[in-house]
Chain A
Amino acid sequence: MSSSTTGQMHDDHDRGHDHGSDVTDMELRVRALESVLTAKGYVDPEALDRIIEAYESRIGPRNGARVVARAWTDPSFLQALRKDASSAIAAMGFGGRQGEHMTVVENSGREHHLVVCTLCSCYPWSVLGLPPAWYKSAAYRARAVREPRAVLREFGVVLSDEVAVRVWDSTAEMRYLVLPMRPAGTEGWSAEELARLVTRDSMVGTGLPLQADAQAPTP
């Protein structure tokens, strides 16, 4: 599909600007686009506000953390996740856009999972929200498949060669959620307490959950 028309338009427009004006320039362009789409009746600005609000408040990594904590504490839920993660997650109310089809991959002492999308930025929005800047970066997309251990070290995750690294390139509509290992010393913790240990990065594979002493359970 050709982007020559807009490409040309932007080239013409860019010529008179230096880099310092990019932000203002984009702010104006996007305002113009929203105005014309609104005037033509294609979009409703209130709906746009509602979409942004959803991804700023309701739809984020706390959803995924609840899935993980429940998997740690509820063996029948873990079985359901293994059998059909899409349905098990949707039943918790965390299905939907960019989480329609889900697979949960389980870390163990023998293997560590890492999720990437080399072709764009596919990410399980319904459980983790919008992807962070690094996930969308060219460097992460390029290198996670070729040198995942080097990439993990940049995130502070150092794995021994005894631990196999399994990288999941999200090339179709299946979205991957990493189930990290439950931290030691959390016996008897509730799912709610455990969810506080589950970081966003630990569910992408670029991090590990917080340790038990980082978040003592509330009495």
Chain B
Amino acid sequence: MNRRLSSADLGGLALGPVPGIGDETRFHHPWEARVMALAVAMGPTAQWTLDHSRSARESLPFDRYLANPYYRTWYEALCSLLLERGLVTVDEVRTGCAESVGPGRLASLKVADVDRVLATGSPTLRPLAHPPRFEVGQLVQVKATWPDGHTRAPGYVHGRSGRVAAVLGAHILPDRRSRRLVGPFDETPEWLYTVVFQGRELWGDDAEPATEVSVDAFESYLLSNSSESSSN
């Protein structure tokens, strides 16, 4: 079995039946909706990015990550980020009472701006002057080097070979953007590729027939692989 990159790196684990099929309840408790909205509303204050949020969520200990209700993990990560940025104190989170006013430099999301903010989102596509290193059809291998911090190459593709199926443009590299804990954040883009792996390449004899899996991998995750025989 592959090593886990983080508590969130679940791809390939042997777990039981999928729970909740047919459950259409959007929020099981009112607090879940509030946590979702708090996380979304803090986005435009630009104190952190989506990559920081993901990094905070996947930094929870594995047992806690698995046991937590989904939005509890969001809550805990939100608290971590707020504390790390010095925007709240532990006592304030606990009591709900503000001990001091905020730094006064956060422009909070106003109700009149919500629809526009949701309709705009945060595109990650950026111009990049140099051309992509890989082309569609090329055989590549995901580096097996262990990252130092947040990354988006799941453990189950590390060291595996696949074929480039698409060049998706140059996008902000989450690995770099999540490194700096305070802004301005490093939004250096990198070429992004869809890489397709045959089931057997990932799972060996356990692979189901006629299955393939693709991931979207940044250029720095990949090596060119000239040994054409190892893919299929």
Residues of A within 8 A of B (CB): 1-3, 5-7, 9-10, 13, 23, 26-27, 29-37, 39-44, 46-52, 54-56, 59, 93, 95-101, 103, 118-121, 126, 129-130, 132-134, 136-143, 145-151, 154-155, 161-174
Contact = CB atoms under 8 A, between A and B. Distances in A.
Contacts of A49: 37, 111
B160 to A, nearest CB: 12
B213 to A, nearest CB: 4
Interface residues of B, number: 115
B104 interface: yes
A68 to B, nearest CB: 19
A151 B178 CA distance: 33
B19 to A, nearest CB: 5
A51 B196 CA distance: 36
The 5 closest A-B pairs by CB, nearest first: A32-B96, A118-B11, A40-B102, A133-B20, A142-B13
In this complex, the member of A31, A34, A48, A151 whose beta carbon has the largest number of chain B beta carbons within 10 angstroms is: A48
Given A30-B34, A166-B214, 4 more contacts: A100-B124, A137-B20, A150-B208, A166-B211
B36 to A, nearest CB: 7
Contacts of A33: 38, 75, 78-79, 93, 96
Contacts of A100: 121-125
Contact of B117 (A39, A97, A154): A97
B25 A133 contact: yes
A174 B35 contact: no
Nearest to A12: B94
A134 B23 contact: yes
Contacts of A121: 70
